[in-house]
Amino acid sequence: MVTKTVEARRADTGPPRTDGDELTVLLAFLDYLRGAIVEKVVGAPEPQVRTAGVASGTNVLGLVKHLTAVERFYFLGEDVRSWAATMRPVPTDTVETVVTAYREAVSRSNEVIAGYTDLTRPAPRTPRKGEPPSMRWLLIHLIEETGRHAGHADILREQLDGTTGR
């Protein structure tokens, strides 16, 4: 439920245009989407930021918490016991603590990514069984995953306080 008038849409310049190599382009898109998801949660009011906006229980804060787990799983090899639980903030989670954890995971992930010059090489091994995908596949998957959840966050944020735009 919108609780205030819709704010003016902020100009979004889109992902940075670069003629760099493939890794540079993929990382630029991923970082653009990572920034978009953070912008959706920063300044969101409590307790609405953790309140479900749809029947599935999805909420803005939970989306950022989930993406933190995704980064840690794929790039840092941390196990996830329950993907559903990654979508649910606990009472001690705040916008500040969740965003800080996300930014830390992104920073550590980018350190791993920086070690790749050949995107056909296997990505870091996750706790899953089987062979890891290539770093190219993983970057494209993270672009898709982060972009999808940034879109969810766009809608949820507009529902909770009327804020639109990146």
166, part of any domain = no
Question: What CATH number is attached to the domain comprising 90?
Answer: 1.20.120.450
119, part of any domain = yes
156, part of any domain = yes
Give the integer Cα–Cα distance in Å for 100 and 32: 17
The domain in which residue 108 lies consists of 22-161
| Number of structural domains the chain divides into | 1
1, part of any domain = no
Residue 19: HSE in the Cβ half-sphere, 13 Å Cα cutoff:
0
Give the integer Cα–Cα distance in Å for 152 and 164: 12
Q: Which of 30, 119, 126 is nearest to 76 (CA)?
A: 126
pLDDT of residue 6: 39
12, part of any domain = no
pLDDT of residue 130: 82
55, part of any domain = yes
pLDDT of residue 157: 95
4, part of any domain = no
Q: What 3-state class would DSSP assign to 71?
A: helix
Q: End-to-end distance of the chain based on CA atoms, in angstroms?
A: 20
Nearest 5°: the CA angle 126, 30, 19 is 125
Task: Please give the structure tokens belonging to residue 113.
Answer: 């990514």
Give the integer Cα–Cα distance in Å for 66 and 153: 12
17, part of any domain = no
pLDDT of residue 20: 83
pLDDT of residue 99: 98
Spans of the chain below 50 pLDDT:
1-9
pLDDT of residue 29: 95
pLDDT tens track for 32-64: 999 999 999 999 999 999 999 999 999 999 999
pLDDT of residue 23: 94
> What global pTM score does this model have?
0.89
Task: Please give the structure tokens belonging to residue 153.
Answer: 């966050």
